[in-house]
């Protein structure tokens, strides 16, 4: 195994998150003789950021469990890993980077370089959030192991937490805090929860369930916090319509309102950036500069369907970009599909939810027909079936399946089947005839996936007449 192309190849990687770590791994696999060096600002090698809420709740026993590739692993793979090391400058012409390791400056030559600098939390403008440039005690973000350790140390049953943002991470945090018997309030400025993942009709049942366990304020934004002795005491939230303000007693304020890309290095180096400051990359994870690759939350790529640029934020996409970057930087050849499907899932408050492709609000004037089916995971006569709702989107002109959402039993695996249909550009007329696996204790003869497609199909036929 391995391609013995170029003993002079020197691959430098900036950042050791899922993107940088995976790129290093695939660069090493592709060229076993190349030098592969990873520079990471922080103190941990590659770990799962998506696992942080579960390490806070204790479902994952120790924070160290999140580390997927240890320093020892990098050693064994003959990948040089420098922790606590900041890359300060990239000279793309002379192919040298300047790094700062514990105050010492170093120069490092490269033949190709991969930026995996990630993103940082986007902090909304809330009055009194900071004191002397630091967030007030009890105001927390969930981005690193250290953030998560700090949150865990603050948790006590009598505490009250407020989560700003009802997206995937906000609600995962709300669920984990609720499990720790904390009183939780969720504040969302949009009229719906999970609006990047599900259409409102799909998220409605989840919202009803969650609101039995935590207080949810939709159409509200946080505008001010009150603190005493440097620690948060309450947060004021305002109704976007009426303007009414409510004070929520709060010991712990979790901010989960999205991220902004960390691209100062890329900008300084001259990489082309998108409208919102992300590094623009192509299907080979290449930036606008030759031999300079970028992957992960600092980048944007094309949406498979709308063909519009989309910021990358899903671990599953980051890793796939990193596979491409690692292989290409090491002299191999690997292209991603012509856009990202954004297949996504989570499990919150007992619901498995999943989706692929844009939500309805992302489409402009496309002629789209949707179909929804609400059924059981098992045949009616078999005890123990669980609810499953599937919604399928079809382009009425092409007949192709373009998007889908699911809530309920095995939602993620059901969405994978629809993601395959989207990737393969399958027509609804063919896909609805897919023989799905059937056995009474496993799945019904006509799965909810099929029946949602039948609904779309009927609507399309009515349109044609």
Known catalytic residues are 50
- What 3-state class would DSSP assign to 370? strand
Taking the C-alpha atoms of residue 261 and residue 128, their distance in angstroms, rounded to an integer, is: 24
Would you call 301 helix, strand, or coil by DSSP?
strand
Asked if 18 touches its own copies (CB under 8 A), the answer is: yes
CB hemisphere CA count around 365 (13 angstroms): 0
Q: Which is nearer to its own copies, 230 or 440 (CB)?
A: 440
Residue position matching structure tokens 């996504």: 344
The reply on whether position 426 binds its own copies by CB under 8 A is yes
Match 């981005």 to its residue by tokens: 143
| Cβ 314 vs Cβ 306: under 8 Å | no
Task: Single out the residue of 308, 361, 442, 463 in contact with its own copies (rule: CB under 8 A).
Answer: 442
314 forms part of the interface with its own copies (CB under 8 A):
yes
Residue 299 contacts residue 279 (beta carbons within 8 Å): yes
By CB under 8 A, residue 4 contacts its own copies: no
Residue 5 makes contact with its own copies by CB under 8 A: no
Which conformational region is residue 375 in: left (phi greater than 0), alpha (psi within -120 to 50 degrees), or beta? beta
Under the binding rule (CB under 8 A), the answer on residue 315 touching its own copies is yes
Q: For its own copies, which residue of 161, 443, 451, 452 counts as binding (CB under 8 A)?
A: 443
Q: Does 312 bind its own copies (CB under 8 A)?
A: no
Write the burial class of residue 464 (CB in 10 Å: 0-12 exposed, 13-18 middle, 19+ buried).
exposed
Contact 139, 255 (CB under 8 A): yes
| Residue 101, φ and ψ in degrees, nearest 5 | -115, 110
Of 340, 369, 428, 455, the residue at the interface with its own copies (CB under 8 A) is 340
CA nearest to 44, candidates 78, 24, 18: 18
Q: Tell me if 223 contacts its own copies by CB under 8 A.
A: no
Assess 207 for contact with its own copies (CB under 8 A): no
445 binds its own copies (CB under 8 A): yes
Smaller CB separation from its own copies, 191 or 424: 424
**Taking CB under 8 A as the rule, does residue 419 contact its own copies?**
yes
State the minimum distance, in angstroms, from the CB of residue 168 to its own copies: 8
- C-beta of 13: minimal distance to its own copies in Å? 18
Provide, rounded to whole angstroms, the least separation between the CB of residue 462 and its own copies: 8
CA 202 to CA 372: how far, in whole Å? 9
- Residues 90 and 97: beta-carbon distance below 8 Å: yes
**Could you give the CA distance from residue 349 to residue 207 in angstroms, rounded to a whole number?**
10
Which of 5, 32, 50, 288 touches its own copies by CB under 8 A? 50
Is the CB of residue 460 less than 8 Å from the CB of residue 428?
A: yes
d(CA 39, CA 115): 10
Residue closer to its own copies by CB (options 109, 337) is 337
Over 48-96, what HEC string results?
CCCCHHHHHHCCCCCHHHHECCCHHHHHHCCCEEECCEEEEEEECCCCE
Please check whether residue 383 is in contact with residue 377, taking contact to mean a CB–CB distance below 8 angstroms. no
Closest of 403, 386, 394, 357 to residue 448, by C-alpha: 386
Residue 262 as a binder of its own copies (CB under 8 A): the answer is no
337 binds its own copies (CB under 8 A): yes
Asked if residue 412 binds its own copies (CB under 8 A), the reply is: yes
* Binding range to its own copies, per CB under 8 A, among 122-130, 151-159, 274-282, 344-352: 344-352
27 is a site residue for its own copies (CB under 8 A)? no
Among 86, 111, 149, 382, binds its own copies (CB under 8 A): 382
Please choose, out of 33-41, 76-84, 351-359, 363-371, the segment that lies near its own copies by the rule CB under 8 A: 351-359
Among 347, 361, 367, 398, binds its own copies (CB under 8 A): 347
> Of these, 77, 362, 396, 446, which contacts its own copies (CB under 8 A)?
446
Q: Does 173 bind its own copies (CB under 8 A)?
A: no
Q: Which stretch binds its own copies (CB under 8 A): 8-16, 135-143, 186-194, 425-433?
A: 425-433
Residue range at the interface with its own copies (CB under 8 A); choices 83-91, 209-217, 291-299, 445-453: 445-453
139-158: burial string, b at 16+ Cβ within 10 Å, e else? bbbbbbbebbebbbebbeee
Per CB under 8 A, the list member of 72, 228, 380, 397 interacting with its own copies is 380
Give the interface segment with its own copies, choosing from 60-68, 73-81, 117-125, 247-255 (CB under 8 A): 60-68
Q: Which is nearer to its own copies, 68 or 201 (CB)?
A: 68
Q: Report how far residue 280's alpha carbon sits from residue 314's, in angstroms, rounded to the nearest whole number.
A: 16
- Shortest spacing between CB 103 and its own copies, in angstroms: 33
**Binding region for its own copies (CB under 8 A):** 1, 18, 48, 50-51, 54, 59-61, 65-66, 68, 168, 314-317, 319-320, 336-337, 340-347, 352, 354, 356, 379-383, 410, 412-417, 419-421, 423-424, 426, 430-431, 433-443, 445-447, 449, 458
């Amino acid at each position: 195994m391995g391609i013995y192309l170029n003993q002079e190849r020197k691959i430098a990687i900036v950042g050791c998150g899922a993107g940088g770590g995976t790129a290093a791994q695939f660069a090493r696999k592709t060229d076993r003789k190349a030098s592969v060096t990873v520079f990471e600002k922080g103190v941990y090698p590659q770990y799962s950021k998506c696992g942080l809420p579960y390490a806070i709740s204790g479902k994952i026993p120790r924070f160290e469990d999140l580390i997927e590739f240890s320093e020892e692993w990098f050693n064994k793979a003959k990948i040089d890993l420098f922790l606590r090391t900041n890359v300060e400058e990239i000279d793309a012409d002379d192919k040298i980077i300047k790094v700062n390791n514990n105050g010492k400056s170093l120069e490092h030559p490269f033949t190709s370089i991969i930026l995996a600098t990630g993103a940082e939390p986007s902090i909304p403008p809330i009055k009194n959030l900071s004191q002397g440039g630091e967030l007030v005690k009890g105001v927390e973000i969930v981005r690193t192991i250290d953030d998560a350790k700090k949150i865990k140390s603050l948790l006590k049953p009598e505490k009250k937490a407020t989560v700003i943002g009802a997206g995937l991470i906000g609600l995962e945090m709300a669920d984990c805090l609720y499990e720790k018997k904390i009183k939780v309030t969720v504040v969302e400025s949009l009229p719906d929860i999970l609006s990047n993942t599900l259409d409102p009709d799909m998220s409605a049942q989840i919202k009803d369930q969650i609101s039995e366990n935590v207080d949810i304020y939709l159409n509200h934004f946080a505008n001010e916090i009150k603190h005493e002795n440097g620690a948060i005491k309450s947060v004021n939230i305002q109704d976007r319509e009426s303007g009414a303000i409510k004070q929520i007693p709060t010991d712990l304020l979790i901010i989960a309102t999205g991220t902004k890309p960390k691209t100062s290095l890329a900008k300084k180096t001259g990489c082309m950036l998108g409208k919102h400051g992300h590094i623009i990359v192509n299907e080979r994870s290449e930036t606008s500069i030759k031999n300079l690759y970028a992957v992960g939350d600092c980048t944007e790529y094309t949406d498979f369907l709308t063909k519009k640029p989309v910021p990358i934020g899903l671990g599953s996409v980051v890793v796939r970009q990193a596979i491409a970057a690692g292989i290409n930087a090491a002299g191999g050849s690997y292209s991603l599909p012509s856009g990202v499907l954004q297949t996504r899932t989570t499990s919150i408050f007992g619901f498995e939810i999943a989706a692929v492709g844009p939500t309805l609000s992302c489409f402009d004037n496309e002629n789209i027909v949707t179909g929804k089916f609400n059924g059981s995971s098992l045949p009616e006569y078999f005890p123990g079936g669980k609810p499953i709702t599937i919604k399928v989107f079809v382009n009425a002109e092409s007949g192709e399946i373009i998007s889908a959402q699911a809530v309920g039993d095995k939602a993620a695996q059901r969405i994978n089947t629809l993601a395959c249909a989207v990737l393969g550009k399958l027509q609804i007329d063919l896909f609805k005839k897919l023989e799905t696996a059937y056995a009474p204790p496993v799945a019904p003869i006509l799965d909810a996936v099929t029946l949602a497609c039948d609904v779309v199909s009927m609507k399309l036929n009515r349109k044609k007449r």
